[in-house]
Structure 1
């Protein structure tokens, strides 16, 4: 294995342990001292559901659950709404597209409910300023915890 890559990989477990030791908060109770960049983890009833990465943790977490957030900002809630409504397969046509679903009354109601659900979930985060380590740590946490709402598929 490449020595530089090995260093990246070996540095992930301590960050993962810091993440898991964090006492969870909610988006509504984020402390002032929330770090700027890193990865975050949404959990519900001690089940880890989704991990993401960002350079603006507080803002990104708020975007996930703000009632006015759209499908590009509240991506986790959108995934949950897709699952609940059965619209799980992405379409690349006007009918059934993300923007179409977001405007459909039945889907938009569920989407709004899921943004509120995400707002009340437990959230943990860990500081990580380096974009390469963020990407690797996001995948490491997702694989380690088996987060069901992450995928790393290309679109």
Structure 2
């Protein structure tokens, strides 16, 4: 392994540990925190249900992502985990990028039955534990996200190309 990469990974291990040790946020409201001057916390977050770690994400706005995953009005573009859960619960796991095909995101989101699954997934996520760790560097964020997903075996992080 390249020494620079190894050194980067080793600096992220304490962040991984802090993420797991964080007292989870549960419920509708993000607790008050001290924000940097630009008003946004950057880092990696973890969604857990019943003690099972399900999804890891990274963001330049942790508070915003907390709400985007949970808000009833959030669309599939800002609530990708809810979209994934809706695909699974509805049985509509196929993907297509051909306009008008029933397996495109747009067609699924127009389907009333799928919308019910999507809405239920956001409600489910509102009850999940949310943890985060601040990591402002985008490269470290990316590596930490993958590190957490692999180490925690989160079933909903696929890293598929689209």
TM range (shorter): over 0.9
Residue 9 (structure 1) aligns with: 9
Residue 121 (structure 2) aligns with: 114
2:55 alignment partner, one of 38, 50, 59: 50
Tell me, yes or no, if structure 1 residue 37 matches structure 2 residue 42.
yes
Tell me, yes or no, if structure 1 residue 152 matches structure 2 residue 151.
no
Q: In the aligned structure 2, how far is the partner of 1:82 from the partner of 1:107? A: 8
Residue 92 (structure 2) aligns with: 87
Tell me, yes or no, if structure 1 residue 69 matches structure 2 residue 89.
no
Q: Deviations over 1:64-113 (max 9, x none)?
A: 12111111111000000000111112111222210111110110011001
In structure 2, stretches of 5+ residues that fail to align are: 36-40
Alpha-carbon contact 2:58-2:145 (below 8 Å) kept: yes
Aligned length: 155
1:136 alignment partner, one of 126, 139, 143: 143
In structure 1, stretches of 5+ residues that fail to align are: none
Report deviation, 1:27.
5.3
TM-score when scaled to structure 2?
0.91
Tell me, yes or no, if structure 1 residue 22 matches structure 2 residue 25.
no
Tell me how large the CA RMSD over aligned residues is.
1.3
Report deviation, 1:33.
0.7
